[in-house]
Structure 1
């Protein structure tokens, strides 16, 4: 009963503060600061979740989790490596590939690209690149003897190429014994049979061709450049790929995604931690305004506090009155910030596209980032954590002013009335 009385009085004091405009302004500032901090923190965490999701599903869905590449020579018995990989718990699938590096001509000079020769039946098990191109483009890569090539959207745009047009790829002449001579290169003609769109840096530098045709160009016969590995847990990839590589008879280079793309994941986690800390401090500063609000409210309510104490109210109940009064600021700020942050996070990608369209700018360039759009993934756990953090900080901010209120001398306060 006493707790309910204290909460009711705190509620009345919360609205009675409107009589003092300065206190009302500081209280409004603290509520707005908490709401802004909560909303921004929810949006930032959702953006970091989105980047992490796109890294795992988009980039790591196309980039192999691990590779075994022949040392100074192609891999001849790649079928045995695939068979060994399928026996290792944790490895989902393995697929051969042929990799080539070359130059393509564009306006103003040449551009280096990576050409991957793939077998569509095997590649479909280790990569989801099929999801980012049309069915016709994917089927064109199944024609193993053809010179079809599927380009990334960004690469096709920079080369001003469309489906059906020809492309010349310049590579070192493998028949040349003196590879150090400049100009020892040969041109290979391809027909653009499709375009894939990942929406990032891979669009600008990667192309796919049938594996048998790639092996024919490099005169590999039935050999391949390497074997791509897919695992069920990407964080276990280094260990699984290393164990598989050490078990082979042929010397191979061992590579996994942490060496090629691992910095992206580390950067995302670092930014998440730094932003969480910075925005938590913003919320803490906003909560500090609650201290100022309650200190002035205590001084403004000296006589009321004295009357309550002389009527027999316990000091703990007086503390609870001002804790409740200050907590209302936190509750209101958390509610507004939580709703606002959730709405923005759910529509963050659309908002970013609208800003890009309105101002004619590109927030994320495919030349720099692994994706060229702003992703977002809202998690309920993040919303609850942020709101709980802000609420706890706002309650803590009320403790000292509430304690000072409970120490008010009734006689002195009434005498000075």
Structure 2
């Protein structure tokens, strides 16, 4: 009974507060601050989730989760290595590759480029590259297709070339039986048969050629530079690639994505942490306004508090009355903030695109980042955590003012003392 009475009186006090314009303004400011903090926190966390998803699907979809590369000699029995990889739980697929570093001449100098020889029949299992190019371009990298090459859209623009043009590359000729000794570089001509659009540095520095042609360039038979691996869980890559590498008789380098692209993931996590702390402080400042509102409300309602205590309302119920007022600020602010945050998070990519078209600006440059759009992925756990954090802070902010309300002396207050 006392609890329902406290809720009723607290709701009446909350509504009656509108008569005091100054208290009403402070209450509005605290509610708006909580709503703003919750909404922005949900939007920015969704953006970070989007970056993580884009990192996994785009960048880590094309770059290998892990690689085993021959050290003193190329890998000859790569089929057996792939069979060994399939026996390890957690390794989804494996495929051979060739890597050749070369130089392409452009206006004003040379551009370093890495040629990657791939087997199109096996590469699709470990890479999402077919999703970022067309079927004709992909098929041009099949066996016995000759000197075909597909390059990134950014590199094609830098070189001022088009599909069908000839690309001259200076490629080192490897000495037979060695993976580290090279003769002088030799110029080779490739026909550009397609492009891929991925964004970021990879698009400007990596080109793909048929596996058999890359082997002939290096004087290899059936040997390859290494084997790339795809994991069921990308975070298991460091452990699994070592498990496979240590089981091989041949000496191999064991590389994983945390060494080549790990800085991108760490940057995303750092930004997420900084944003969480900053916006938590925004919510905390808004909750300080709740304290101010309740302190002024207690002073404004001293006579009513004294009357209620005289009529038999317990001091714990008086405390609950003012806790209800402060919690209502938090509930309303969180509800508004969560609603706005969810709507914006679900439409963030489309809104960013409209802003780019309206003001003719580019929010994210594909030449700098690994994507050229603002990604967003709403995760309801982030909504629950953001709302829970704000509600907890608003509830804690009510404790001191509510406790002060219980210290009102009815006799002194009603006597005008």
When normalised by structure 2's length, the TM-score is: 0.94
Q: For 1:152-163, what aligned pairs fall within 5 Å after superposition?
A: 152-163=152-163
Separation in structure 2 between the aligned mates of residue 89 and residue 277 of structure 1, nearest angstrom: 38
* Aligned position for 2:26: 26
Separation in structure 1 between the aligned mates of residue 72 and residue 240 of structure 2, nearest angstrom: 23
* Aligned position for 2:10: 10
Please give the secondary structure, in 1, of the residue aligned with 2:9.
helix
Kept in 1, the 8 Å contact 2:154–2:367? The answer is no
* Aligned position for 1:401: 401
How far apart are residue 371 of structure 1 and its match? 2.0
* Aligned position for 2:317: 317
How far apart are residue 106 of structure 1 and its match? 2.7
* Aligned position for 2:201: 201
How far apart are residue 11 of structure 1 and its match? 1.3
When normalised by structure 1's length, the TM-score is: 0.94
Q: For 1:291-330, what aligned pairs fall within 5 Å after superposition?
A: 291-330=291-330
Separation in structure 1 between the aligned mates of residue 159 and residue 198 of structure 2, nearest angstrom: 17
* Aligned position for 1:343: 343
Moved more, 134-143 or 396-405: 134-143
Separation in structure 1 between the aligned mates of residue 131 and residue 173 of structure 2, nearest angstrom: 34
* Aligned position for 1:278: 278
Query: Residues 350-379 of structure 1: CA distance to partner in whole angstroms, max 9, x if unpaired?
Result: 222223233333222233322222211101
* Aligned position for 2:150: 150
How far apart are residue 398 of structure 1 and its match? 0.6
Separation in structure 1 between the aligned mates of residue 140 and residue 355 of structure 2, nearest angstrom: 38
How far apart are residue 10 of structure 1 and its match? 1.3
Please give the secondary structure, in 1, of the residue aligned with 2:331.
helix
* Aligned position for 2:225: 225
Q: For 1:82-121, what aligned pairs fall within 5 Å after superposition?
A: 82-121=82-121
Kept in 2, the 8 Å contact 1:241–1:255? The answer is yes
Structure 2 residues not aligned, in runs of 5+:
none
Q: How many residues align?
A: 413
Query: Residues 28-74 of structure 1: CA distance to partner in whole angstroms, max 9, x if unpaired?
Result: 11111101110111111111111111111221111111111111432
Instruction: Note closer, same or farther for the CA distance 1:87–1:175 as it changes in structure 2 (3 Å cut).
Output: closer
* Aligned position for 1:414: 414
Question: Does 2:407 align with 1:378?
Answer: no
Kept in 1, the 8 Å contact 2:7–2:321? The answer is yes
How far apart are residue 161 of structure 1 and its match? 2.4
Query: Residues 249-268 of structure 1: CA distance to partner in whole angstroms, max 9, x if unpaired?
Result: 22211111111112222222
Query: Residues 265-300 of structure 1: CA distance to partner in whole angstroms, max 9, x if unpaired?
Result: 222222222221221111111101100000001101
Kept in 2, the 8 Å contact 1:50–1:377? The answer is yes
Q: For 1:182-193, what aligned pairs fall within 5 Å after superposition?
A: 184-193=184-193
Query: Residues 8-35 of structure 1: CA distance to partner in whole angstroms, max 9, x if unpaired?
Result: 2211211211222111111111111101
Please give the secondary structure, in 2, of the residue aligned with 1:255.
strand
Please give the secondary structure, in 2, of the residue aligned with 1:164.
coil
Query: Residues 189-226 of structure 1: CA distance to partner in whole angstroms, max 9, x if unpaired?
Result: 11111111123322221111111011111111221111
Separation in structure 1 between the aligned mates of residue 49 and residue 122 of structure 2, nearest angstrom: 31
